[in-house]
Structure 1
C-alpha cells in the first residue's frame, strides 16, 4: 500500500530468513557439538564401541550441516516468497489459509516420515535378539577349528590329533561329536610355514569350462597350481550332519538327500556364487564327474567317479555353514578312501552336550585345547557367543534409546510446529466462532481432535512402511539380528501415545494463548 515493490519485499523477507537461519544454524552447530561432546562419550562408554569413539572437530561435519540446513531453508521459503510477491494488499489483509486439505496431507506425510524413522531405529536396536545371533554363528554347542586350514600360517602345519578327539568324547557331558575333514597339500605357504588347505585335481575336460568361469568371475573359488592342476576346497563330513547345512546354502539343482550322500557315490558341488538364485556353472545335478585327485601322502592321483547330488550356493554370510565354504563335499567315508593321510586333515570338531554346556563345562574343553599345545587351534561355543551377544544387546539398547529419543524429539517438534502454525493462521476464525458462542472447552476439543486425527492417520500410515523398512534393513545390515513384531508393536504404542499427548498438550496451550485477549479485540485485527 505504500509502494513497496515485489523485489523489495523479497529483499525484506530474505534478510529476515537470513537472520533467523544464521541464529538457528549457528546455535544448532554449537549446541549440537557440545551436547554430542558430552552425550556421546557417556552413551558409548557403556557399550562395546567405546574403544572406537573419538570426538572430532572435522570442519567437513560443520560445513555439511550448514549446507543441509541452508538447503532446507531455501526450499521451504520459496513458496512464501512467491506468495508474498504476487499477492495484492487487499488480499493480504483478508488472507486466510485456503488449501487446508493439502496442508493437512503434507502435515500427515511429515508426521509419517518422523514416525517411520522412530519405528525403524526403535525396533532394530531394542529388538536385538540374542538367540538369533547365537544361531547365526553356531550349529553345535562347541566348535574347535584348525585355523591353518583357512589361511596361510607362519609355522609348519600341526594336525588335530585323534587323541584330543577321544579325550573330548570321554567327557561326561558330551553327547556326540562330529569330525569334518579338509584336503590339504604339503606345500610351503607364502608366510614360510604351511599353506591353507586346498585339494589338487587334474584339469579334466569336465572341469576346464568351470575353471574358466570361476577365473572370469574373479572370486578365487578355483586357482591353478604350478603344474596346471586346479586347487579348490574339498571337504568330507558325516552324512548325518548334512541337515545342519540346509539353512546356510540354497540348493539350485538336485537335493540334499542324506541317505544317498552316505552311500559314498555322490558329491555336492558349490558353484561359488552368493544368492544368485540360479545354476550358472557347467556342472549340474545328476552329472557324473570323473575326478583325478592328488593324495599328497602317496604322491599319486586317485581316480574317482562321483555323481553330483546337488548344485548349491551360499546364502548365509556368517560362519554357520561349512558346506558353503567347500567347492566339493564328499561324505567322510569317501574322503578317507581318497586321502591316505586323512587322520591329519581334521579341520573342525563339533560337539554337542546332553544339554547346553555351562561355563564350567566349556572351560574344561578350553583346557583340553590348551593342553594340546597346538596354537593353530581356536575354540568357540554357544555359551561364549551368548555372553558376547548379551553385551552387544545392552549396547544396542542404550544406543537405540538415545537415537530413538533424538528422532522422537524431532518428530515432537514437527508435530508442535505444524499444529501451532495451523491454529495461529486461523486466529480470526476462532475469534469469530467464539463471538457466536463457542466455549474454551469446545475450542480446545476442536484443536485437540485435529491433532489427534493427524497423529492417528500418520501412525497408521507409518506402520506398514515401518514394517517394510525394518524387515529390509534387518536383513541388509548384518549387525541387526532380525525384525521383532513385539518390539515394533511397543514402538507403535509409544509413538501413538506420545503424539496424542503432544496434540492434547498443544491444544490446551493454544486455547489458553488464543483466549487471553477479548474476542472484540481479536476481531479488530482484521480491520
Structure 2
C-alpha cells in the first residue's frame, strides 16, 4: 500500500527554493505573464471604453434620449401617453423665440430660446450634454445658456450670477430684458451655427406660452417597445388636426452592421492575443520542467507523490503570476490613459470629435475579468508541464527526451534513414504535439501582425481621397436658422472664382425644395425599404401614403441641379450609363438608388414636379442611379423614404427661378494650388461659406493615419515578438532535451558540423511548413479581416500585404536556421564524454 506524504510546509519550501534557483526562468515567465495580462486587459479596457464613448457621442449628437415627439399635445393626450407601459421618460419643450443681434446675422449663426420641463431636462436632455454648472432657471429673469451661445455673444468668460442683456424675438415682437445666469452647459448639436438658451417656467407663464399651443412632447421609449410603440401610440392616442407622431430612433440602432463587424474583428484579434499568450506561458513553463526533469525524478525517489510534484509546478506559476499580473494590469491602465483619448480624437473629426468623450472605463469588473482570464490562461498553460513532472518515474527522468517512443518502421535502413534531410524530417514530426506548437506559435504571431497591418493599410489616404474628395476644392453654401440655403454663393462670386489664376474647371450645383405628385410606383418601393430599415416594419410607409393622399400639397423633396459638364463626369464613372442628352434637355431626372435598397430594380415611370410658384408643373422620365462616382451631393433633406431628385440646372431654373447655389466644385493646376487655396479661403471667410480642399483633407487624414499606425504598429510588434519568442523557446527546449542524443551521435562518429546541418534542415522544415500555412490559411484569414474592414469603413480597399509577408517569411527562415545552431553551439562546448557523463548522473 502506497502512503502519500502530506507535508504542505515541505512542498511550499520546495516551491520557493526552486523559484530562487531559476532566476532566468522566472524572468522569462514573469515577462510572459505581464505581456499576456497587459494585452488581455488592454483589449478589454480600450474596447469597452470605445463602445461606451461611442454610444455617448451618438447620444450627444442626437441631442436627447427621446425617440418620439408629438407637436401641440393636449393635457388629455399627455396623460394618456403617460399611462402607457411603453414610455420610460416623458417631457415637454417649447421653442420660445431667438436672440435678435446684428453680429449673429453677420456671422451666420443663431441662438434659440427654449423651455424644457423638469423631467425633460433632467432625464432626456442632461444625458446628451456635459460640463453642467449651476442649476436650471426657476425665476422669470434667470437663464441657462450653452457655451456655444456664450461664444456667439462674445461672453465665453461669463460666470454663474452674471447679468446678460438680451434682445430677442418672441410672439413676433422684439423685446429686451436683462437676465441673470443660473447655469452653463456644453451641447453637441450637429448644427454648429446654433446655440441655445433655456428659460424658466415662470417666463413661459408670463408670456402666455403653453405646450399645447407652442410646444412639443418628447418621449423616451422602453427598449422592449422599440418595434411596437408606433402601433400602440397611434391606436391608443387620438390625434387632432395635423398632429402626427415623429420617430427619430437612437443613432446607435442604425449602426448594427458596423458594430457587429467591429466586434467580430476585435474578438478575432483578442483570440489571437489570448492564444499567443497561452503558447508563450506554456513554452516558458515547459522549458523549466524539462530542464528540471531530473530534479522531479529524484523527488519521486524520496517519496514525493505525483500530486505534490504537480502542485509544486502549479504553485511556481501562480507565485510568478502574483508579480506578473499586477504589473500587466498597471501597465495596461497606464497605456490606456494615453491610447484611449488619442484614439477617440483620431478616429473622429468635426462634430463627432467634439462630442466624443475621452473617458477610460476603469470598471473593476474589467480588471477582475482580466485577472481571472490571465490566471485561467496560466493554469491551463502549466497543466501539461505539471503532468509531465508529476507522472514521470525516476528512471524515465534520466532518459527523458521529450518524445514518445515509437515503433520502428519496417524496412528502415541506414542508406535511406542516414540522409540528414530525412533524419531532420523524422525529428520534426516524431513529437507531433511539439511540431504543432512550433507551427502554431509562429503562425499566430505572423497572422495577427498581418491582420493589423491589413486593417491599417486598407484605410490609406489614397482610398479615402478617391472615395470622398472628388475635386481640388469645394465651396458650399450653408443653411440659415430655418434650414434653408442662404444666398451667399451668388453668380458674382462664381465668376470671381472662375477668374482666379490657375483654375481649370468649375462645376455648379443648385438646390431647391419642390412639391411633387405622389406616384406610388416610383416612391412605394423606397418608402417600404426605408421604413423597414428604420422602424422594423412597413406600417409607417402605408400610413405616410394615406396621409399624403389626404394632404397632397405636403409631399415635397430636395431637388439638386447639376451642370452639363458635371453630369458627363458622373456618367463617365457610372456602371449603368444614363441618357446624358435627355438629362441635359430636361427630359430625364435621376433618383438616388440608395433609398431603394441593395437589390433595387429600375423604374420606368414619369414623375410630375410642381413649379415653386404653384403655377404649373412638369413631368419627367425617371431613372434610378447608384452614384458610384460619389460626385452627386446630398440635397437639403426630404421626408423619410422620398429620394433626392437630380436634374439639369436649366430644368431646375425653369421650375424655380430662385433656386440657390449649393456647391461650387473647383479644380486647378497643381502649381497654383497654394495660391488658389489662399484666395478661396478669403472668399469663404468673407462670405460665410464652408471650404473643403483636397490638400487639407489629405493632411488631416495623414495625421490620423500616423496615430493609427503608431497604435496598431505597437500592438503588432508586440504580437510578432511573442510569436518569435515562442519559437525560440520551443527550439531551445528541443535542443536541450536532445543533448544526450546529440552526444551519443557524436560518440559514434557524427561531426558537430553534421549535427548543425541536421538542425538547419529541421529549422528549414519548420520555416517552410509555417510559410505554407501563412500563404494559404493565413491569407484567407487576412482576406476575411479586409472584408470586415470594408464593412467598418466604406472607403477601405483590400491591399495584399506582400512586402510585410516577404519580410516576415525572411525573418522566420533566418530565425529557424540560426537559432538551433546557436543553441547547440552554446550547449555543446564541453566534450562528448563530459556531456554523456553529466546526463547519466
- TM-score normalised by the chain length of structure 1: 0.77
How far off is 1:395 after superposition? 3.4
1:23-65 deviations in Å (ceiling 9; x for gaps): 443444455556x389869x99x9899x987788664553343
Q: Structure 1 residue 340 and structure 2 residue 657: aligned?
A: yes
Q: 1:51-450 residue pairs with structure 2 within 5 A?
A: 59-80=364-385, 94-96=399-401, 97-98=403-404, 99-125=430-456, 129-148=460-479, 153=481, 157-159=485-487, 160-184=489-513, 199-207=514-522, 209-210=524-525, 212-214=527-529, 216-219=531-534, 227=551, 229-245=554-570, 251=576, 255-273=577-595, 277-279=598-600, 284-285=602-603, 287-291=604-608, 293-296=609-612, 298-300=613-615, 302-304=617-619, 306-309=620-623, 311-313=624-626, 321-322=632-633, 327-342=644-659, 344=660, 346-355=661-670, 357-372=672-687, 375=688, 377-450=689-762
1:404-460 deviations in Å (ceiling 9; x for gaps): 322232222122122122223323222222222333333333333323332343234
**Is the 2:339–2:711 Cα contact (8 Å) retained in structure 1?**
no
The residue aligned with 1:507 is: 820
Does the C-alpha gap of structure 1 residues 378 and 362 become closer, same or farther in structure 2, counting only changes over 3 Å? Answer: same
**Is the 2:740–2:836 Cα contact (8 Å) retained in structure 1?**
yes
CA distance in 1, matches of 2:336, 2:656: 61
**Is the 1:181–1:235 Cα contact (8 Å) retained in structure 2?**
yes
- The number of residue pairs the alignment matches comes to 487
SS at the partner of 2:481?
coil
Does the C-alpha gap of structure 1 residues 354 and 26 become closer, same or farther in structure 2, counting only changes over 3 Å? Answer: closer
How far off is 1:502 after superposition? 3.1
How far off is 1:393 after superposition? 4.2
How far off is 1:113 after superposition? 1.9
CA distance in 2, matches of 1:69, 1:394: 32
Whose radius of gyration is greater, 1 or 2?
A: 2
**Alignment counterpart, residue 321 of structure 2, candidates 17, 21, 29:** 21
How far off is 1:468 after superposition? 1.8
SS at the partner of 1:336?
helix
Does the C-alpha gap of structure 1 residues 130 and 23 become closer, same or farther in structure 2, counting only changes over 3 Å? Answer: same
**Is the 1:262–1:331 Cα contact (8 Å) retained in structure 2?**
yes
**Is the 2:560–2:645 Cα contact (8 Å) retained in structure 1?**
yes
The residue aligned with 2:808 is: 495
Gaps of at least 5 residues in structure 2 are 1-299, 405-429, 638-642
SS at the partner of 2:594?
strand
CA distance in 1, matches of 2:709, 2:338: 15
**Is the 1:115–1:458 Cα contact (8 Å) retained in structure 2?**
no
How far off is 1:354 after superposition? 4.3
SS at the partner of 1:114?
helix
The residue aligned with 1:187 is: none
CA distance in 2, matches of 1:155, 1:234: 15
SS at the partner of 1:279?
coil
CA distance in 1, matches of 2:398, 2:754: 28
SS at the partner of 1:402?
helix
SS at the partner of 2:501?
coil
Does the C-alpha gap of structure 1 residues 66 and 506 become closer, same or farther in structure 2, counting only changes over 3 Å? Answer: farther
Gaps of at least 5 residues in structure 1 are 185-198
What is the aligned-residue RMSD (CA, Å)? Answer: 4.1
CA distance in 2, matches of 1:266, 1:469: 42
How far off is 1:363 after superposition? 0.8
Greater shift in the superposed pair: 65-74 or 414-423: 65-74
How far off is 1:165 after superposition? 1.0
The higher relative CO (CA closer than 8 Å, separation ≥ 6) is in 1
CA distance in 2, matches of 1:122, 1:215: 36
**Is the 1:273–1:314 Cα contact (8 Å) retained in structure 2?**
no
CA distance in 2, matches of 1:418, 1:365: 63
CA distance in 1, matches of 2:836, 2:828: 12
Does the C-alpha gap of structure 1 residues 409 and 320 become closer, same or farther in structure 2, counting only changes over 3 Å? Answer: farther
How far off is 1:147 after superposition? 3.2
CA distance in 1, matches of 2:309, 2:477: 77
CA distance in 2, matches of 1:510, 1:208: 74
1:99-142 deviations in Å (ceiling 9; x for gaps): 52343234213311211122233455468643333222221221
SS at the partner of 1:183?
strand
How far off is 1:526 after superposition? 5.2
**Is the 1:180–1:347 Cα contact (8 Å) retained in structure 2?**
yes
- TM-score normalised by the chain length of structure 2: 0.51
**Is the 2:478–2:485 Cα contact (8 Å) retained in structure 1?**
no
Greater shift in the superposed pair: 458-467 or 356-365: 458-467
Greater shift in the superposed pair: 160-169 or 515-524: 515-524
SS at the partner of 1:278?
coil
Does the C-alpha gap of structure 1 residues 475 and 92 become closer, same or farther in structure 2, counting only changes over 3 Å? Answer: same
CA distance in 2, matches of 1:365, 1:513: 70
How far off is 1:361 after superposition? 1.6
